[in-house]
Amino acid sequence: MLTTFVFMEMINRELSWLSFNERVLQEALDDTVPIIERMRFLGIYSNNMDEFFRVRVAFVRRMAILNKNKKDVKDDEISPVKLLDDIRNVVMKQQIKFQIAYNKILKELEEENIFHITHEELSPEQEIELQDYFKEELQHAIVPIILTKKNPFPHLRDSGIYLAVEMLTEGKTKRRMALIQIPKEFSRFYLMKKGDVQQIILLDDIIRLNLKRIFSIFVFDEVKAYTFKFSRDAELDIDDDITLSMMEKISQSIKKRKFGEPVRFVYDEEMSEELLKFMLKHLNLKKGVNTIPGGKYHNFKDFMSFPNFGKKEFVFDKKTPVWHHRFVNKRSLLKEIAKGDVMLHYPYQRFDHVVDLLREAAIDPKVKSIKINVYRVAKKSQVMNALINAVLNGKKVFVVVELQARFDEENNLYWANKLREAGAKVSFGIESLKVHSKLIQIHREGSKGSSLVSYIGTGNFHEKTANIYEDIGLLTVDEKIGEEVDRIFNILDGFTNDRRFETLFVSPFSTRTGFEELIENEIQNAQQGIEASIRIKFNNLVDEDMINLLYRAGKAGVKIDMIVRGICCLIPEKEGLSENIRVRSIVGRYLEHSRYMIFHNAGKRKYFLSSADWMERNLNRRIEVACPIFNEKIQERLERIFEIQWKGNVKSRIIDEAQTNRYFKDGNPNFSSQEELYNFYKEMLERNAKQNPSVLHP
């Protein structure tokens, strides 16, 4: 039995997440990042913040309402009420940096003869152009709602952008108020060009320009409109009605989400006090608690699609994912995998290989069945289409669809229905456990008997995100791995309750204990004077027990290096606690999403890929899979990947207790780990082509 040591010195989870999002904001302030990409990082930051408030702040707010004050929490924890205040203070400071970044980008664009203009800066010709555009395109999509004390306040969608309108008469002593939702079906950006000068105006300002037309039946002296953004609690309420199917429960819960409690109101700080008070009263919000004043424009997540004005230098240079050298000009990927394990690394290598594998399996007469579990897939998914094609070709197709993948529930419901209509068997997993693993298994009957081709990955089967998310997947015909992947699918299908795993670590059954034993082994080796080390890369480190075990390992002399992209509640390099633990975070062009672990194991290193971060939910309340890597070449590749990522001194930040997000600088020439990894795979393909002339570039 493992001995428990309690240190309990940790960084608060929510504040650590805000520190991660500040690293995203740093990218928008980095002059070495192409200018439009910096604008898009502002969009990513904004989108991240939206989800943070809808999920995490909403949770803290519920705890505060339940009177979880200091009397109810441990001495080293922050009360929910104080935490909400701390969150607001951090967000307010970041809001200032956000505005600085935005203004800096606009100024640099002006130097390139590109100007963001408002409705007040238009030439007469431009006014006519935009009034015509409004009349021909926008007018009938605008539905103003007049606000009165008598009429019930309208229901607001937290995914929308709104203008709060104020019409003033009689020397501004009388006012009429209204709301306009900015239509989502139109681009937020309208471009105008005259000679070498390009100008961009937001949809918000085109509507402002036409306010008199919209409210032409009213008499007023002045009319103004202020943009605001509104967020609701996004928690799904899954009731216990046994007469409803899971699909029906999710469908109903998605509808209820639209009426969740308000958690944030971000508004134009120029909004009049009277209009602000009216809005907050009817939204059941309090100024200074749920409210964040800001600039004129909000919902910057739209800026993720900010135009590049046709200039290549404004965006990242295009990097086409390279082919895996084992798959170049191969007639059959299934036969190639049978020769030995293949590791794919996205977005440096092609995710198309996975789609091609499924397409091959769909038409191969020797393939009997395909099993897959999906957490998130693209709206126009080639993966799903390949599975439907497999059904049409007579294959048995079993798909586990996770209906509670947050904010993708509707998309997953759509594909679940499409798959069922085609004839695939669809399951929604095990009650109370999200299925977050990334598995495919293809059963093939060949001339030499049957084989199971298994895929175990760290990321979703999503063609779009695979171009920007850094992830790893293993393809193998290893019998032990294949048998246990098959057992997982049988558990999810209800065929077996056998939850014993000897090769894979499977949450919630064995992942925690499996990694605990590996860490304990390193501790014992260190105590005996044997070299001991752990290298880990994942997205989030939150679980208290795992953090305390890592603290104990570090104190025993185990050298621990970790790359943690997002939340890190562990405090690294603190005297008396974690001197032997170093943590860095890489935030750059690609979203670091892979999870893998390397344990020294007295020189006989052990390697794992995993779908799970070390969070309580991933270890205890989800189906997750960590897979050992047996192939020596792939082991060497993982070592090389970690070395490249750890060596990076361009986009790597040092994680510390103060959450300063200092860039890691070692005095060496600039070394971008993401650039180097792309070059690494490109050179590998070219090297193999030279060594084997039959392997030509596709």
Structure tokens at 601: 């194991």
Q: Which of 436, 462, 593, 600 is catalytic?
A: 436
List Cβ<8 Å contacts ≥24 apart for 523-527. 523/552, 523/553, 523/556, 523/558, 525/558, 525/600, 525/601, 525/602, 526/553, 526/556, 526/557, 526/558, 527/556, 527/557
CA–CA distance, 405 with 409 (Å, rounded to integer)? 6
CA atoms within 13 Å, Cβ hemisphere of 551: 21
Amino acid at 138: L
- The per-residue DSSP string of 467-527 comes to GTEEEEEEEE--HHHHHHHHHHHHHHTTS------SSSEEETTTHHHHHHHHHHHHHHHHH
| Residue in the block written with tokens 């008199």 | 212
User: What letter does residue 151 receive in the DSSP assignment?
Assistant: S
| CA 32 from centre of chain | 24
Structure tokens at 154: 């309208």
Q: Name the pairing type of β-strands 652-654 and 662-663.
A: antiparallel
CA–CA distance, 135 with 444 (Å, rounded to integer)? 61
Q: Are 473 and 455 in contact (CB under 8 A)?
A: yes
CA–CA distance, 646 with 623 (Å, rounded to integer)? 29
CA–CA distance, 122 with 190 (Å, rounded to integer)? 13
Query: Of 151, 198, 155, 196, nearest to 177 (Cα)?
Result: 151
Task: For residue 336, give the H/E element and its range.
Answer: helix 333-338
Structure tokens at 445: 């009957």
Amino acid at 545: D
Q: How many helices (H) and strands (E) does the chain have?
A: 19, 27
Backbone φ, ψ for residue 64 (5° rounding): -65, -40
Residue 436 a catalytic site member:
yes
Query: Of 415, 378, 411, 379, nearest to 397 (Cα)?
Result: 415
Query: Of 93, 81, 94, 69, nearest to 289 (Cα)?
Result: 81
- The per-residue DSSP string of 61-126 comes to HHHHHTT--GGGS-TTSPPHHHHHHHHHHHHHHHHHHHHHHHHHHHHHHHHTTEEE--GGG--HHH
Alpha-carbon radius of gyration of the chain: 27
Q: Are 230 and 265 in contact (CB under 8 A)?
A: yes
Structure tokens at 290: 């749920």
Task: State the Cα angle at 630 between 626 and 631, rounded to 5°.
Answer: 125
First to last CA, the chain: 55
Q: Are 532 and 558 in contact (CB under 8 A)?
A: yes
| Residue in the block written with tokens 């207790």 | 657
User: What letter does residue 216 receive in the DSSP assignment?
Assistant: T
Q: Any idea which residues carry the catalytic annotation? A: 436
